[in-house]
């Protein structure tokens, strides 16, 4: 029970103000389908945190800070480019449930690579021998932090300037990516 509670609280706190909350808001504003978005968050987080937990147990001691920072930097620059190219809907096309789920699952999985919650999952899995409790706790923490954002995003989606949000998100992802690449270069021996 300790592994679950520590994992849940660590990730819920780490997720506050994280880039994936911005991603949740953007997806909620675009698709206006909170339940498929939350299902996508759940699936992406489970997949990502299972991998992170396995890395924490088996390979965590072999990862260098430079390698991790470089991977985060490259993924953030990719997210910056992706944020600039919003989906286009044809006139009369509906935003479907499957589209919201698939987009969320892919976007969240990519955004979580090298994220502080993934790093926390690696560390927690190395510290606790109960992998199911760690993964369940980190996943529950992610949902706890992102569910309110998804529902608020849906409520305010008609008033949000989507083009400006995409540009701001792209700029933030680009800055974050540059910072991590800078750190990777300075960590390298």
- Alpha-carbon torsion 27, 32, 37, 38, what sign? positive
Give CA–CA dist 175/167, Å, rounded. Answer: 12
Q: Taking a C-beta distance cutoff of 8 angstroms, is the pair 117, 18 a contact?
A: yes
Cβ count within 10 A of residue 185 = 12
Enter the DSSP assignment of 53.
Answer: H
**Digitized pLDDT (tens) for each residue of the chain, 189 residues in all:** 888 998 998 888 877 767 788 888 888 888 888 999 999 999 999 999 999 999 888 765 566 777 767 766 776 687 678 667 654 434 333 445 568 999 999 999 998 888 888 888 887 887 787 899 999 999 999 999 899 889 887 566 556 566 776 687 678 778 877 887 898 898 766
Nearest residue to 118 (alpha-carbon basis) of 151, 148, 75: 75
Give CA–CA dist 86/75, Å, rounded. Answer: 18
Q: Taking a C-beta distance cutoff of 8 angstroms, is the pair 133, 70 a contact?
A: no
């Amino acid at each position: 029970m300790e592994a679950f509670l520590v994992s849940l609280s660590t990730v819920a706190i780490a997720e506050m103000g994280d880039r994936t909350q911005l991603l949740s808001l953007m997806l909620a504003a675009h698709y206006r389908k909170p339940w498929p978005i939350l299902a996508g968050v759940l699936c992406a987080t489970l997949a990502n945190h299972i991998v992170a937990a396995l890395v924490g147990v088996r390979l965590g001691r072999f990862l260098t800070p430079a390698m991790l920072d470089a991977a985060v930097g490259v993924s953030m620059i990719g997210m910056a480019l992706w944020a600039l190219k919003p989906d286009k809907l044809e006139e009369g096309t509906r935003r479907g449930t499957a589209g919201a789920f698939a987009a969320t699952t892919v976007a969240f999985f990519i955004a979580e690579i090298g994220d502080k919650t993934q790093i926390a999952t690696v560390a927690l899995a190395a510290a606790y021998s109960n992998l199911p409790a760690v993964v369940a706790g980190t996943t529950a923490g992610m949902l706890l932090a992102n569910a309110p954002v998804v529902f608020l995003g849906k409520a305010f989606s008609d008033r949000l300037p989507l083009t400006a949000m995409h540009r701001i998100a792209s700029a933030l992802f680009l800055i974050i990516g540059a910072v991590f690449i800078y750190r990777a270069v300075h960590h390298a021996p």
